[in-house]
Amino acid sequence: MKHNLRQLIHRFVFFAILLLLASCAKTNDSEPPPNSPIFAGTTAITLKSPAHAATINTSNNFNYELPAEVTYAVIGIFNANVVTSDSTISNEANFLYGSRTGMSDFVRGFQTQATLHGYDSATKNFKSPNSSPAASSGTYYWAVWGYDQFGNLTHSSPAWRFVL
């Protein structure tokens, strides 16, 4: 009887540990996307795809929802998570590609990878004509931010990570 009780306790402890380990395991599929806008105090822009933590290829597009009050928008692709301070990007060296309102191939709410431009930190603008280099595999982050008709930063999305 004592032996059976000891076996039963060991089995219970074993299954409790397995259950605990399974509940602690975190995969990319279960990782919730960040939901705080990259710029504090701004209204959220909704990102649609690629989803946070998705693995994509060069044919995937970037889809997002811009509210009507956003007059001027920017989409940015970074090779590190986006860091901001007040209304500026602190890690501008990680800002690699993107596009903005006013560029001939910019489409509101939808950007193909082929229409992303290299970002030039010296001019603080995108290179034109399109100078986006061939895609290289790695981990990237994307975000969108927008300005009202007076040039005030009013909206921004969270930064979502993707793997190319």
Number of CB atoms found within 10 A of residue 61's CB: 15
Four-CA torsion 8, 10, 15, 21, nearest 10 degrees: 170
The structural domains of the chain, with segments of one domain joined by +, span 30-163
- Topology of domain 30-163 in CATH is Immunoglobulin-like (2.60.40)
pLDDT in tens, 11-32: 443 443 333 333 333 334 568 9
pLDDT in tens, 82-94: 999 999 999 999 9
What is the average per-residue pLDDT within 110-127?
92
pLDDT in tens, 61-72: 999 999 999 999
Asked whether the CA dihedral 101, 142, 155, 69 is positive or negative, the reply is positive
